[in-house]
Amino acid sequence: MSHTNQTWVTEFFLLGLSDDPQTQLLLFALFLTVYLGTILGNLLLTSLVLLDSQLHTPMYFFLCNLSLADLCFSTTTVPQSLIHMLSGKKLISFTGCAAQVLLFLFFGSTQCTLLGVMSYDRYLAICDPMHYPLIMTWKACGLFALGCWSSGLFASLVDSTFILGLPYQGNNQIAHFFCEAPALLVLASANIHRTELVIFLLGVVIIVTPVSLILISYVCIIMSIIKMKSTSGRLKAFSTCGSHLIVVIFFYGGAIINYMIPKSSQELGKMISVFYAVINPMLNPLIYSLRNKDVKRAFRNAVNRRIFCRT
Single pTM value for the model: 0.88
Residue 223 lies in a domain: yes
Answer positive or negative: Cα dihedral of 172, 173, 179, 182.
Answer: negative
In a domain, 3, yes or no: no
Confirm whether 6 is domain-assigned: no
pLDDT of residue 102 exceeding 70, the answer is yes
Residue 112 falls within a domain, yes or no?
yes
Task: Let me know: does 148 contact 99? Beta carbons within 8 Å.
Answer: no
Phi-psi category of residue 164: left, alpha or beta, with phi > 0 → left and psi -120 to 50 → alpha: alpha
Number of helical H runs and strand E runs in the chain: 12, 3
For residue 5, tell me if it sits in a domain: no
The residue among 75 and 306 whose pLDDT is bigger is 75
Position 121 in a domain: yes
Q: What is the pLDDT of residues 106-152, one digit of tens each?
A: 999 999 999 899 889 988 988 888 999 999 999 999 999 999 999 99
Q: Determine the longest span between alpha carbons in the chain, in angstroms.
A: 72
| CATH number where 197 lies | 1.20.1070.10
Which strands make up the sheet holding 173-174, listed edge to edge? Answer: 91-93, 11-14, 173-174
Higher pLDDT, 240 or 75: 75
Domain assignment present for residue 55? The answer is: yes
Please tell me what DSSP assigns to residue 9.
P
Given a contact cutoff of 8 angstroms between Cβ atoms, the answer to whether 152 and 107 are in contact is yes
Please count the structural domains in the chain.
Answer: 1
Give the number of other Cβ atoms within 10 Å of residue 219's Cβ.
11
pLDDT of residue 2: 42
Distance CA 205, CA 155 (A): 9
Phi, psi for residue 11 in degrees, rounded to 5? -155, 155
Question: Is residue 2, in this structure, part of any structural domain at all?
Answer: no
Query: Residue 92's pLDDT is what?
Result: 92
Torsions phi, psi of 8, nearest 5? -75, 140
Confidence of residue 1 (pLDDT cuts 50, 70, 90): very low
| Partner residues linked to 13 by β-bridges | 91, 173
Three-state DSSP at 169 gives strand
Domain extent at residue 94: 11-310
